[in-house]
Amino acid sequence: MPRHFGVIWAQMSRRLRGLGRELESAHEGNRLYSWGLPAAALLLCFTMLAIAGALSGVPVVEFLPIAIFEALVMAGLFVACMMPAVSPPDDRGDRGPDSDPDPTPPPSDPSVWIRLLADADLGPRSPTDVKEPKPRELAGTRR
């Protein structure tokens, strides 16, 4: 188990260093801005949720994990929004016209519909298919 923990810790620290390099390059090396803003969001969100949980009378065991999770999510959103914008590798840059041809619109010729209805073989309706509506009575009236 300690070996797995060491592997996970090394991989996580390597990814955090890479993330730190990307954030610092995006913000011209301003380390305070790059890490201070997400850290402030983490601290502020955790503090607000911890105070709200303590004032509500809920046991610490119930609100503390939620406060930690929500604070980490908010800090992660700050980091994600601060990352430099990059285009996908298959982006053509200018977003010019596509190479696909325009689809042809359906024909507006009414003879197409006539042929479709003729092929449908709809027989004439019998007079027994038509139901006569029943007369409506007002509710609460005497006869």
* pLDDT tens readout for residues 83-119: 776 655 655 555 666 666 666 766 677 777 777 777 7
73-112 b/e (C-beta count within 10 Å ≥ 16 → b): ebbeebbeebeeeeeeeeeeeeeeeeeeeeeeeeeeeeee
Whether residue 26 contacts residue 84, with contact meaning beta carbons closer than 8 Å, is answered with yes
* Domain assignment of residue 22, yes or no: yes
Task: Pick out the chain residues at pLDDT < 70.
Answer: 1, 25-27, 29-31, 85-103, 105-107, 121-133, 137-143
* Domain assignment of residue 16, yes or no: yes
* Residue showing tokens 């939620």: 66
* Domain assignment of residue 47, yes or no: yes
pLDDT of residue 3: 79
* Domain assignment of residue 56, yes or no: yes
Count: domains in the chain:
1
Residue 33 structural domain = 2-82
